[in-house]
Amino acid sequence: MSFAFLHASADTTPIEIPAIGLTLRVPLPPAMSGGTVTAIETINAPGYGPPLHRHRETEIFRVLEGRYLYECDGRRFEAVPGDVVTIPGGSAHGFVNIGDSPARQFILILPGLDAVAFFTGLAAVMREGVPDRARLAAFGEKWGVEFLGPPLVPDRPSPDRLSP
């Protein structure tokens, strides 16, 4: 694994996807780590999260602000600031901001993914709102992402709580 020097400025251009309440920045693109890792920082609007999905990459989430409900392979749990959540590659997963204000996460993606291209493309597909399942599936196929269903809805009482 080799890393190139990088000093990422906090004022990088955000990518916005209003259909899923997402704003994100990519402070560490995969080119800076020889493709080993990508880092993104996300802001999720209250009540929003991505559709349930799976992909080959492992993701490591650190909740910076707010409260999230996660689901990984059918197991639901809450995560709060300071919590770290790992989602193994190939796991069906999703999350939703269950707070009343925007929530933030710092996410490592392993191996690295061209997150700028992926999320810019996703924003284009979702320009008019969440597209039909066939259009979303066609986009996902290009990236090795399988969209399995709609975003999570916090409909189950008393989810497990991750230990800090």
Does residue 160 fall inside a structural domain? no
Tell me whether residue 2 is in a domain: no
Say if 98 falls within a structural domain. Answer: yes
CB atoms within 10 A of CB 120: 13
pTM > 0.95: no
pLDDT at residue 118 greater than cutoff 90? yes
d(CA 140, CA 149): 13
Q: Which of 82, 93, 10, 86 is nearest to 51 (CA)?
A: 93
pLDDT digit string, tens, across residues 76-86: 999 999 999 99
Any domain includes 3: no
Q: How many domains is the chain partitioned into structurally? A: 1
Angle in degrees, CA 20, 56, 78, rounded to 5: 50
- What tokens appear for 34 in the block? 């020889």
CATH of residue 92: 2.60.120.10
Does residue 29 sit within a domain?
A: yes
In angstroms, rounded to a whole number, what is the distance separating the alpha carbons of residues 33 and 37? 6
Coil/strand/helix, residue 119:
helix
Amino acid letter, 37: V
Q: Judge whether 4 lies within some domain.
A: no
Cis peptide before 111 (omega within 30 of 0): yes
Which tens digits make up the pLDDT trace of 94-105? 999 999 999 999
Q: Which domain does 142 fall in, by range?
A: 15-147
Residue 162 lies in a domain: no
- 22-40 pLDDT, tens digit per residue, is 999 999 999 888 899 999 9
Residue 40's CB is within 10 A of a number of other CB atoms, namely 22
| Rounded CA separation 110/38 (Å) | 7
On whether the CB atoms of residues 14 and 82 are closer than 8 A, the answer is no
**In this structure, is residue 22 part of a structural domain?**
yes
